[in-house]
Each structure stands twice: as C-alpha cells, then as structure tokens.
Amino acid sequence: MKRRPPYRPLVEDDYGRRRFMKDSVLASLGGAGLVGTLGAMFQSLQAAEERPLPKVLDGKGYRGGKQDGDDAVKTGTFFFPRLKFHVKDRRFDIWDVGPSGDAILRRKLRDLTNINASEEPVVVSLDDLDKMSRYPYVFMTAETEFDLTPKDADNLREYLLRGGFIHADDCCHSRCKGRTMKTDLKDGVFEYKVREKDPSIDGDRFFMDYVRIINSLFPDNPMRPIPPNHEIHRCYFHFDRCPVMQGVDHGLWGLFEKGTGRLMTVVSPGDLHCGWMNRYWAPEKNLEGIKMGINILMYYLTH
C-alpha cells in the first residue's frame, strides 16, 4: 500500500505558500484601490516576476467556460474557478451544477467590493496540479457522494499544502430540498454517515464525503467546526454563524493549518451556492448566501 508523505508545515515546503502566492495570486486578483489589509498584502507582490500562465480546462455542462487553447489568463484580475471532479451517481447534480450562481457571485464581487473579478467562467481539474495551482482559490460543489482517485487525492493534498484554498459547498440532496435539518453530529465531532442507508436525515452527502476525504489526507489534523466568533464570519460582512439556505445545518467546517491556525479549506453544508442563484428564496435570504460566499473569499485573500 502506498504511504503518503508525512504532514509538513508550509514553512518547510520547498514550494511553499510564499512562492505559491508570488507565482499565482497576481493571476487571480488585481484592480486599483484595494483597501486596508488587501492593499498592504498585495502591494509588495506587484513587483514579482510574471510567469507564463496555463490555459484553463473546459468542462462539459459548464456552459461558456474558456476553452483549452484560448489565451492565457491575465494578471490583475480575480478568477473564480469551478473544480471538476468525479461523483458516484450522475443522476443527481454533479460538479458543474448551477453555473449561473458562480456568474452572479462574480458580478456581486464587483458590485459589493473593489475586487476586479473576471466575468469569464473557468474550469480546473484535480488531475492537473500545475494548471490548478495557477488559481489559488477554487470552488467546488455537488449534491451527492463522491470519491477521488489516488492521483487526484494526492493533488488535492499538495494543492492545499502549497497554499491553495478550496471552498466546498454542499448542494442539498434532493431528499432534503427546501428544508433545513439540524445536525446529528454530537459535540462537533465528525462521524461519517452513509445517508443512503439512513434516510432519517439527508441533504449532506457531499459534506460527509468532503470531510471524510480531507480527514484521510490529513489524519493527524482533521476538519472541525469553525467557531461562530471566528473572523471568517465577520471579515467583510458580519454574521453570527454561517447562514443556511437548505440542507443539514452543521455550521461551517474548516481545516486549520498547524502552527498558524490559518484555514486551508472550508466546507459550507447549507447550500450557499443555491442562494447565489437568486431563484429559490426571498432576495434577503439569497443575499445572505452571497455575502457569506464573499466573506469566505475575502478571508482567503487576507490570509
């Protein structure tokens, strides 16, 4: 059996978060007038050498995405990539569900912040680490179970160790559409639930598999609930806790980097992405999902 290399703090990584940020972040964020921490953070990076950037991957079903063969991504612009990955049951919403939600969030980033967000949809894939690493922030969602090949799992782990950040959002399973159910995880301790065999609670199949996979990649540092007073809930807009559109209300969960406490990835189980689509609830509730999505992104950009 192949053994994974031991967990290594980012400061000991030959590539490392500092190098990753220098090479990658200018390809995803820019624009004049960044305020406060953002402005200070990226001012020194603007003098970094530019490297040739890869072309993005196309994905079937994700309409309008840049095609492989288009011009390389431009510096000075934030791109919001969607992650392509394998799900077990294609009868349900898979990785490319609801691209309109991504488009609306990109537009709201421009309207509600001074981030120069590109309107171009971008697709990246776990099977190509080099191309994925040109985008330090990646979004993924689906509503059903999924698993990763050994190569994809290794790439996911390496991407996070290099300083990349993934926001994973559970697209509520069809059995729980339109409802919000309380968590059945006791005292914030994760216990994997096979929902197909336990229909008493549903709507969090993607959440269950995401936490399970991340915990398998970082066995000595499992994901855990993010406290309500954590800055991710109030770094741009103020929330007492992560809002829930529908599904199972486990709260926001994260992988905390050893030594620094920085969040390396977060998973929101309450279907924020459906709120971004502005279709299913009152405008005020949809806006809560959009604002929390922006908070998660702003937390990454300031850390």
Residues 97 and 60 sit within 8 Å (Cβ to Cβ): no
pLDDT tens profile 51-100: 343 333 344 445 444 444 445 544 478 999 999 998 876 666 588 889 99
Within its chain, how far is the Cα of 46 from the centroid? Answer: 25
Residues sharing a CB contact under 8 Å with residue 215, sequence separation 6 or more, in sequence order: 190, 222, 223
Task: Give pLDDT, residue 204.
Answer: 95
Give the three-class secondary structure for 133. coil
What predicted TM-score, i.e. pTM, was given to this entire model? Answer: 0.79
- Cα–Cα distance between 47 and 64 in angstroms, integer? 33
pLDDT tens profile 162-178: 999 999 999 998 888 99
Residues 117 and 81 sit within 8 Å (Cβ to Cβ): no
Residues sharing a CB contact under 8 Å with residue 63, sequence separation 6 or more, in sequence order: 99, 121
Locate the domains of the chain by residue range: 11-301
In CATH, 11-301 is 3.40.50.12140: yes
User: What percent of the chain has a predicted confidence (pLDDT) above 70?
Assistant: 74
Residues 133 and 81 sit within 8 Å (Cβ to Cβ): no
Task: Give pLDDT, residue 75.
Answer: 47
pLDDT tens profile 270-291: 999 999 998 899 999 999 999 9
Give the Cβ contact number of residue 69 at 10 Å: 7
Task: Give pLDDT, residue 35.
Answer: 38
H/E element holding 167?
Answer: strand 165-170
Q: What is the dihedral of CA 150, 155, 161, 162, to 10 degrees?
A: 160
Task: Give pLDDT, residue 86.
Answer: 85
Task: Give pLDDT, residue 25.
Answer: 46
Q: What is the mean pLDDT of residues 30-41?
A: 38
